[in-house]
Amino acid sequence: MAMAVPSVATNVGDVAELIADTGLLVPSGNPQALAEAWGKLLSIQSSERLAMGQAARERIRQHFSLEAMVARYNSVYEEIAQED
């Protein structure tokens, strides 16, 4: 995603939160669904794939970059410090 490539992934753990609408999710343990999702991704217009990839990159930058994660940790630490 950080490389502006749309993803196809199994819906396990927090993957749905990570990908959101920037890629395709399939049920875990379903290789047929995984193959079909890759086929779907490959069959869409290249401009749409590029747009999905750019959206994925932006999602990572906004929500999961080092800066975003540091800000989240700082927020948690400040919240804990205020509880004392």
Per residue, the 3-state secondary structure of 40-67, as one string, reads HHHHCCHHHHHHHHHHHHHHHHHHHCHH
pLDDT tens digits for 5-20?
A: 999 999 999 999 999 9
Q: Is residue 1 one of the residues assigned to a domain? A: no
pLDDT-derived band at 37 (thresholds 50, 70, 90) equals: very high
**Total domains present in the chain:** 1
pLDDT for the residue numbered 11: 97
Q: Is residue 38 one of the residues assigned to a domain? A: yes
SS3 of 25, please? strand
**Residues 40/52, Cβ–Cβ less than 8 Å:** no
* CA gap 41, 53 in Å, rounded: 11
State the residue range of the domain holding 67. 8-83
Q: Is residue 2 one of the residues assigned to a domain? A: no
Residues near 49 by beta carbon (within 8 Å), at least 6 away in sequence? 6, 41
Q: Is residue 3 one of the residues assigned to a domain? A: no
